[in-house]
Structure 1
Amino acid sequence: MPDSPMSASPYEVLGVPASASDEDLRRAYRRLLRETHPDTGGDPLRFIAVQSAWERIGSPDARRRYDAGHIVADAEGPAWAPPHADAQHHRPTARSYGHPGGWRRERYLQLLGEWVGRGVDVPDPYDPVLVRRAPREIRHLLADALAEEATARWLATLGIGYTVWHDVAAGSSDEKVDHLVLGPTGLFAIQSEDFGGPVRVRRGELTGDALAGERPMHELAQRAKAVARAARVRFTALLLVLPDDALVTPAESVGTSRGAELVVLQASTLLTALRDGMPGGRAVGGTEIFEVRTRLQAAVRFA
């Protein structure tokens, strides 16, 4: 996600201040190319990041555009703005409820306003220059909202055999499960995250420089537990979805929680995991899937 609010800026990747001269920028780029090149024992991921950073600020024109906050947008509009109502060109095939990313976007706007200052007009709260200056907590809220919305777009394509609930309250007012998915392969609790860097699994939890003391697998297990108790249901698996470049492997089991497998996986593998199910996982069908859906419909509260 090169335009993630959590991603390091090109200047940070190249190890120079934003005020660096063009010549200093060029020297830093050439030095890092030599240090990170895989043929000389460098880190392939860092090598790619260095090249990407240079593409964004290596030329005077590209640098002016980046410094002015012009990031690449897709056909649906600015990359960080909420999806447009007409952005979905086909009707979702999975039955869905709730508003993905809504809670985090509201919280982002609230905290951004407090950080900017009371009474200060913010014409565009998604202006990239403003977002890049914001504290990590605020940028993380926006990054996770984007991750939720991306996951929701994938989930919408699952098919009529699946039901999806978004932004499900889990206990206290500031805790939620991003997505619940019920289908023939089971019941899944899904959290969408973007920490802005790579992570790895260690002793049942995620570790890495991108984490700031967070315990995402533990938090997902606790929130899923609250939902399971309220609805009197059992989860097949708890899935933490991350950007593809945050994980070395497509998916990795972290352990279990109350009989549900805990898995962290790349976003591009999510649909396969939901359609194929977990190895050894119990399928749900017939009357049981109707009963579970009824319990969830009665118990689910949205954040």
Structure 2
Amino acid sequence: MFDSPLSASAYEVLGVAATVDHEELRRAYRLQLRRTHPDTGGDASVFIQVQRAWELVGTPELRAAYDRGHGFAEDDTAWDGWRAPSARTDTRPRAKSSGEAGGRQRRRFVALVQEWAGSAVPDPYDPAFVRTVPRELRRLLADALAEEDTARSVGDLGMGFTAWHDVAVPAGPAAGPNTAQELDKLAHIVLGPSGLYGLMSADFGGIVRFRGGEVIGTEAGGPAGDRAPITALLTQIRVVSRAARVKFGGAILVLPDDDLAQAIVPLGSIRGTTVVVVRRSALRTLLREGVPGSRTIGGTELFDLRTRIQHTVRFA
């Protein structure tokens, strides 16, 4: 959660400025522990965040490393955490993939940041600079990072799987009214022996919860009210399903590990599609085993599905 462009810094969680001395930092930590402890009426998820923040800055050595990596130190060293991933050098067999995960969000982020700044920005991924830009721009970068991380996880599934990233969602009657902004792309399609799935990668900058089959959480209406990610994902899947004449076995929302209270959260069948929310670290296991109720696909059927999708998809 602390490495997301959307998340609060360790200092913000502890309620102090990044310039306080160590003793003041320690006092703030103890105060926040008392305020957020579940036994005294505090929020358990916030209590965990406070503990995690202290793990990052609780000693002078840890704090110095955190400051260098997150743009709080005057002698910042180069940090690649938010920059575009470099080319892979290992030769292990990987899932076959097409499209550029997160690529469009990165391009939009850089273009809009330059426009917002009013001049050329030497390093749009510098952590100290990123913290100054509006939240809606940081969200673009957070989404790009989330999609790149999911693509890496899917790639590690091996040769039995095929993935398509940044799939353009065609317009048409299946989309329904008032959905143009949500339907411009489906982040990931994954096909393997366990089934065919549509995936959305998201990062809301904090722990999320669910109500009525939709996401609610830390942004007081942001995830559910502004984006309605589950609803958008199901509609994206429906449009692609009709265009390619295939049936998806499930919809999967992938979140950073720290943003989900448990590894896998099944939301049941929504609009006739099984929906699962999963931590990124548990995604490979879920895709290998399949979502609840999924069936094994193999042989001619797997080949036919791959061919139909390959002939239909266009990239955003």
What SS does the corresponding residue of 1:81 show, helix, strand or coil? coil
Report the equivalent of 2:177: none
What SS does the corresponding residue of 2:131 show, helix, strand or coil? helix
Higher deviation after alignment, 252-261 or 191-200 = 252-261
2:297 matches 1:284? yes
Structure 2: distance between partners of 1:286 and 1:273: 21
Q: Gaps spanning 5+ residues in structure 1: where?
A: none
Question: Aligned pairs, how many?
Answer: 297
Structure 1: distance between partners of 2:233 and 2:165: 14
Higher deviation after alignment, 172-181 or 51-60 = 51-60
The offset of 1:33, in angstroms, is 2.4
What SS does the corresponding residue of 1:133 show, helix, strand or coil? coil
Report the equivalent of 2:176: none
Report the equivalent of 1:116: 117
| Contact residue 69 and residue 127 of structure 1 kept, 8 A | no
| Contact residue 240 and residue 265 of structure 1 kept, 8 A | yes
With the length of structure 1 as denominator, give the TM-score of the two structures. Answer: 0.87
Root-mean-square deviation over aligned CA pairs: 2.6
Structure 2: distance between partners of 1:170 and 1:71: 41
Q: Indicate how the Cα distance of structure 1 residues 178 and 204 shifts in structure 2: closer, same or farther if over 3 A, else same.
A: same
Q: Deviations over 1:15-69 (max 9, x none)?
A: 2345667665443222112333467665454334224434555667736644237
Higher deviation after alignment, 260-269 or 231-240 = 260-269
Identical pairs, percent: 53
| Contact residue 276 and residue 291 of structure 2 kept, 8 A | no
Report the equivalent of 2:163: 164
The offset of 1:278, in angstroms, is 2.2
Q: Deviations over 1:95-123 (max 9, x none)?
A: 11111111111111111112111xx1211
Match of 1:178 among 182, 187, 209: 187
What SS does the corresponding residue of 2:276 show, helix, strand or coil? strand
The offset of 1:232, in angstroms, is 1.1
Report the equivalent of 2:283: 270
2:187 matches 1:188? no
Report the equivalent of 2:147: 148
The offset of 1:203, in angstroms, is 0.5
Report the equivalent of 1:67: 72
AA aligned to 2:15 is: G
2:82 matches 1:80? yes
AA aligned to 1:116 is: A
Q: Indicate how the Cα distance of structure 1 residues 105 and 4 shifts in structure 2: closer, same or farther if over 3 A, else same.
A: same
Q: Deviations over 1:217-252 (max 9, x none)?
A: 001011111111111111000100011221222222
With the length of structure 2 as denominator, give the TM-score of the two structures. Answer: 0.84
Structure 1: distance between partners of 2:89 and 2:237: 29
The offset of 1:191, in angstroms, is 0.7
Q: Indicate how the Cα distance of structure 1 residues 258 and 298 shifts in structure 2: closer, same or farther if over 3 A, else same.
A: farther
AA aligned to 1:97 is: S
Q: Indicate how the Cα distance of structure 1 residues 274 and 22 shifts in structure 2: closer, same or farther if over 3 A, else same.
A: closer
Structure 2: distance between partners of 1:69 and 1:300: 47
Structure 2: distance between partners of 1:158 and 1:206: 27
Q: Indicate how the Cα distance of structure 1 residues 60 and 156 shifts in structure 2: closer, same or farther if over 3 A, else same.
A: closer
